[in-house]
Amino acid sequence: MNQTIMLLPSITMAFFFLMVVRTCNSVDTIAVYQNITDGETIVSENEIFEMGFFSPGSSKNRYLGIWFKNASPHTVVWVGNRKTPLTNTLGIVKLDSHGILSLYDGSGSVIWSSHSSASGINVNPSAQLLDTGNLVIQDGNILSKKIFIWQSFDYPGDTFISGMKLGKNLITGREIYLSSWRSADDPSPGEYTVGYLMVKGKYPQVYIRKRSVIETRMGPYNGIAFAGQPNYKLNPVYIYKGDMVLNQKEMYFMYTFSSTTLLLRHITTPGGKLEVWHLNMHNQEWMQDLTFPQDNCDNYGLCGPYGSCSTVTFPNCGCLKGFELKNPEELNPGNWTSGCRRSRALDCGPAEGFLMFSSMKLPDTQNAEFDGNMSLQECEVACNNNCSCTAYANPNISSGSVGCLQWFGDLIDVRMYPQNGQDLYVRLAASEVLGSKKGSLEVPLFSLSTISRATNNFSIDNKLGEVGFGPVYKGVLEEGQEIAVKRLSKFSTQGLDEFRNEVICIAKLQHRNLVKLLGYCIQGHETMLVYEYMPNKSLDWFIFDDLRRSLLDWPQRFHIIHGIARGLLYLHQDSRLRVVHRDLKAGNVLLDCDMNPKISDFGLARMFKGHESEANTKKVVGTLGYISPEYAANGFFSVKSDIFSFGVLMLEIVSGKKNRGFVHEDHHDNLLGHAWRLYKEGKSLDLIDASLDKSWPVSEVLRSIHIGLLCVQQRAEDRPDTQSVVRMLGGEDLLPSPKQPGFFIQGSECDLTKNISLPSSLNGVTVSEIIDGR
Ligand SMILES: *[C@@H]1O[C@H](CO)[C@@H](O)[C@H](O)[C@H]1NC(C)=O
Ligand SMILES: *[C@@H]1O[C@H](CO)[C@@H](O)[C@H](O)[C@H]1NC(C)=O
Ligand SMILES: *[C@@H]1O[C@H](CO)[C@@H](O)[C@H](O)[C@H]1NC(C)=O
Ligand SMILES: *[C@@H]1O[C@H](CO)[C@@H](O)[C@H](O)[C@H]1NC(C)=O
Ligand SMILES: *[C@@H]1O[C@H](CO)[C@@H](O)[C@H](O)[C@H]1NC(C)=O
Ligand SMILES: *[C@@H]1O[C@H](CO)[C@@H](O)[C@H](O)[C@H]1NC(C)=O
Ligand SMILES: *[C@@H]1O[C@H](CO)[C@@H](O)[C@H](O)[C@H]1NC(C)=O
Ligand SMILES: *[C@@H]1O[C@H](CO)[C@@H](O)[C@H](O)[C@H]1NC(C)=O
């Protein structure tokens, strides 16, 4: 009771003092040796913040604090003597000549003071409470430079307001984080902290921790919001601009808030929630904007590694696509601690890829590396090139996909939002990626400028040749990958969607004996296909050259025949598209660095035909010497026309001679007719290329010639199907006797097809053309 009586005069004095000071000036400033006693306050220039002594909640203890001047209820943003309360009202605050602000208790002992690293003699220091809520101590001399000897913003309590930094000084190691009060009555540090957890070299992010245990992760800041609060939609009447700074010296998050009528604060509650409130200065009431954690999925790592949490499913936990429960038997509802594992192990093979997950909370970045300069594309390449990289993402939404986060290790604390999350790209085994992209296989679209650069502006030096539907150029992409670019000369730009669909279809045809389609380009009047580059050119470059044909020994030739047959079988039967090539020939069999054959130009005829039926076409695509009789005569094509071309090719590989243009002193037959003659005379072995040394296995050569003759029989129905060809090549079974081949007399293609008008450009023997067959 005594105390109350004693208080009254001091309060009265305080008001008196305030009135006096106010009429002088600088009610917001404490000068050296000026005393602030309990009951007195200083107020920032525009009366937004006030500093003085207060008692929190129902406590009687006295604390030095800063609060919003005109808020109801009384809202403290900063406390000086958090851990050392005064038990009476005898506290005095004083600034000494060194610029240190001290709080003395009634007996004259210092119970709290502003520590400062800026030592030395300060001339005429002063302490000032700014309108931002920051209490700053400045040196009289360097006032103009705005260098603070000390500022309360560096020592936050539970409240984060505009202009404060949350982060770490990387040089001194000092961290700035929020810590909850113990209770509403006790501002001493409680169990919860909100702040960055810095792992050296990793990307920083904000957590709420209970002592050292992570409770929830707000995540990295993405330029617009924290990853853990993507739907943090603030009231549109105010402008909230967050900024994360990461450099050699410091790392911090701060926000600036501009409004003339509203104030904003983030507060860490004693119960471990981060709450955002705004104050309407007209009615002086606080309104809550957000509380975090918000839902079950905000529990840190709830679903374990590679698990993903969603509040719209039950249970909330699930595995990311491509992953399955690690311990399905141990699972008890609600406990997903052990999480998920890959359904298919990674083998670091070239076909591994990334699956994009949209609207995600990016995984914990404690094991993620950051590069602020990489584009998303560069990010993918980098992650793809390092087998331990499990995922990548662009952390910064506002920068337009610049900046790269790469994860090394498990993906933890992932959740899926109904909207507004971020894109995450997770590495998966090849089969998973293909399976997941069912029907929408991505085929890269190259820009014309990329291809121009790669091919040196389609320079003549880069031209590989002119086969099929246009010239082919060699190119090198910026990453160093060699490509072959086919510039489609005859393609009209009308059916671009059709073209694109066709490209996607063709890109799905993947077999080790087919040349891989890497992408395409549509720009202006140009349509191009980009293939992998084959260093050993094409089969015709070897077998029809007097010198080079000796480089191909019999085992290699047989291997090539086999490979072509398997590629053809895939096209005819094993692929879902059932493609008839229609222009199989030595020039369309390319050779990789190990001399494996790869069929090229498959699907092109299909692409040019559009919707025409398989049975009939007005236009004949093909190359003289390889065209089957029924195709040349009636435009009738089927897998059996490809088999005919394959038979021609086999005989060419065995003999090293071209079917068309074949000359023999004894007769006018072409290669097929010649082979037929020798077969009937039992002298088939005479057909074999003289440049081969004599070590070839007789039975294999004879068998190859025999199968070749079966394939070129006049009537399509007599020819074996592709599967039989592959079986015959691999087996020892007796073969049926071949009947007379089609087109065995030189030039007979033309004789039989009088009504085909051949374009004059057809003089070149290996040039394919679209022959108008009307
Ligand atoms: C400040 O308080 C001290 C006692 O703590 C007193 O000696 C001193 O005179 C006071 N100074 C002013 C300017 O009131
Ligand atoms: C969840 O399961 C793990 C072991 O699988 C166990 O260590 C943990 O205590 C369990 N947690 C809960 C909340 O049941
Ligand atoms: C990004 O590029 C700028 C300028 O080229 C450079 O100063 C900076 O160090 C780079 N940052 C990183 C993380 O590589
Ligand atoms: C992959 O990245 C990790 C982490 O940066 C690094 O330690 C490792 O050396 C890299 N591996 C390769 C093959 O580059
Ligand atoms: C995000 O990008 C914007 C625009 O480039 C940049 O100003 C900001 O600092 C970036 N933020 C982060 C967290 O990288
Ligand atoms: C390629 O062509 C473009 C435009 O025609 C020209 O600007 C560029 O210099 C050329 N580049 C080369 C390597 O010839
Ligand atoms: C095939 O290409 C590879 C790689 O370019 C080369 O080393 C090899 O000699 C070539 N083979 C032949 C028979 O030319
Ligand atoms: C010519 O065309 C007609 C109809 O397109 C076809 O019936 C005929 O078989 C073709 N060949 C000859 C040699 O007339």
Q: 81 vs 42, 60, 114, 179, CA distance in Å?
A: 17, 14, 10, 14
Residue 221 CB less than 6 A away from ligand 5: yes
The whole-number pLDDT of residue 647 equals 97
Residue 32 CB less than 6 A away from ligand 1: no
The whole-number pLDDT of residue 618 equals 45
State yes or no: pLDDT of 168 exceeds 60.
yes
Spatial separation of the C-alpha atoms in residues 321 and 310, rounded to whole Å: 14
Q: How far is the CA of 531 from the centre of ligand 5 (A)?
A: 38
516-562 pLDDT per residue, tens: 888 888 776 778 899 999 999 999 999 999 999 999 999 999 999 99
Of the listed ranges 153-162, 212-221, 476-485, 584-593, the least confidently predicted one is 476-485
Which ligand is closest in space to the CA of residue 549?
7
Burial class (CB in 10 A: 0-12, 13-18, 19+), 22: exposed
Burial state string for 674-712 with b = 16 or more CB within 10 A and e = fewer than 16: bbbbbbeeeebeebbbeebeeebeeeebbbbbbbbbbbb
Q: How far is the CA of 330 from the centre of ligand 2 (A)?
A: 10
The whole-number pLDDT of residue 413 equals 95
Residue closest via CA to ligand 7's atom 4 equals 593
Pocket test for ligand 5, best of 398, 401, 422 (most atoms within 8 A of CB): 398
Residue 596 CB less than 6 A away from ligand 7: no
State yes or no: pLDDT of 659 exceeds 70.
yes
Q: How far is the CA of 39 from the centre of ligand 1 (A)?
A: 15
Whole-number average pLDDT of the chain: 82
Q: Which atom of ligand 1 is nearest to the CA of 94?
A: 1
Pocket test for ligand 1, best of 30, 34, 35 (most atoms within 8 A of CB): 35
Q: Which residues contact 763 (CB under 8 A, 6 or more apart)?
A: none
Q: Which atom of ligand 8 is nearest to the CA of 756?
A: 1
State yes or no: pLDDT of 25 exceeds 50.
no
- Of 2.60.40.2470, 2.90.10.10, 2.130.10.10, 3.40.50.1820, the CATH number of 1-153 is 2.90.10.10
Residue ranges, CATH 2.90.10.10, the chain: 1-153
State yes or no: pLDDT of 689 exceeds 60.
yes
Residue closest via CA to ligand 3's atom 10 equals 373
Of the listed ranges 184-188, 347-351, 696-700, 727-731, the least confidently predicted one is 347-351
Of the listed ranges 151-165, 265-279, 660-674, 706-720, the least confidently predicted one is 660-674
36-48 pLDDT per residue, tens: 999 999 999 989 9
Residue closest via CA to ligand 1's atom 3 equals 35
The whole-number pLDDT of residue 247 equals 85
Pocket lined around ligand 2, Cβ cut-off 6 Å: 330, 335, 337-338
What six digits make up the tokens of 316? 């909330």
DSSP state, residue 570 = I
The whole-number pLDDT of residue 321 equals 86
More confident residue, 139 or 724: 724
Pocket lined around ligand 8, Cβ cut-off 6 Å: 633-634, 753-755
Q: How far is the CA of 476 from the centre of ligand 6 (A)?
A: 16
Q: Which atom of ligand 6 is nearest to the CA of 459?
A: 14
Residue closest via CA to ligand 1's atom 6 equals 35
Q: Which atom of ligand 4 is nearest to the CA of 369?
A: 5
Residue 400 CB less than 6 A away from ligand 7: no
Burial class (CB in 10 A: 0-12, 13-18, 19+), 146: exposed
Which ligand is closest in space to the CA of residue 96?
1
Pocket lined around ligand 4, Cβ cut-off 6 Å: 369, 386, 388, 408
Residue ranges, CATH 3.30.200.20, the chain: 448-532
Assigned CATH topology for domain 448-532: Phosphorylase Kinase; domain 1 (3.30.200)
Spatial separation of the C-alpha atoms in residues 443 and 437, rounded to whole Å: 11
Residue ranges, CATH 1.10.510.10, the chain: 542-768
The predicted model scores a pTM of 0.56
Residue 107 CB less than 6 A away from ligand 1: no
The whole-number pLDDT of residue 492 equals 53
For the chain, how are helix, strand and coil distributed in percent, rounded to 5? 25, 30, 45
Q: Which residues contact 539 (CB under 8 A, 6 or more apart)?
A: 560, 586, 587, 589, 590, 591, 597, 653
Q: How far is the CA of 446 from the centre of ligand 7 (A)?
A: 29
The whole-number pLDDT of residue 730 equals 87
Q: Mean pLDDT over residues 85-98, rounded?
A: 92
Q: How far is the CA of 245 from the centre of ligand 5 (A)?
A: 8
Residue 12: pLDDT band by 50, 70, 90 thresholds?
A: very low
Helix axes of 639-655 and 671-680: crossing angle, nearest 10 degrees: 70
Residue (of 340, 306, 294, 314) closest to 414 by Cα position: 306
Q: How far is the CA of 362 from the centre of ligand 5 (A)?
A: 17
Q: Which atom of ligand 2 is nearest to the CA of 327?
A: 5
347-400 pLDDT per residue, tens: 877 677 888 888 889 999 999 999 988 888 788 888 988 889 999 999 887 776
Q: How far is the CA of 708 from the centre of ligand 8 (A)?
A: 28
Q: Which atom of ligand 6 is nearest to the CA of 457?
A: 1
Which ligand is closest in space to the CA of residue 348?
4
How many Cα atoms occupy the beta-carbon half-sphere of 41 within 13 Å? 19
Q: 655 vs 557, 684, 705, 746, CA distance in Å?
A: 11, 10, 9, 17
Residue range 542-768 in CATH 1.10.510.10: yes
Cβ 644 vs Cβ 719: under 8 Å:
yes
425-441 pLDDT per residue, tens: 999 887 776 555 443 44
State yes or no: pLDDT of 287 exceeds 70.
yes
State yes or no: pLDDT of 743 exceeds 80.
no
Which ligand is closest in space to the CA of residue 409?
4
Q: Active-site residue numbers?
A: 583
Q: Mean pLDDT over residues 609-638, rounded?
A: 66
Residue (of 601, 599, 600, 709) closest to 654 by Cα position: 709
Which ligand is closest in space to the CA of residue 327?
2
Q: How far is the CA of 535 from the centre of ligand 7 (A)?
A: 7
Of the listed ranges 449-458, 591-600, 708-717, the least confidently predicted one is 449-458
3-state secondary structure of 292: strand
Q: Which atom of ligand 2 is nearest to the CA of 330?
A: 5
Q: Which atom of ligand 3 is nearest to the CA of 372?
A: 13
Which ligand is closest in space to the CA of residue 636?
8
Residue closest via CA to ligand 4's atom 10 equals 386
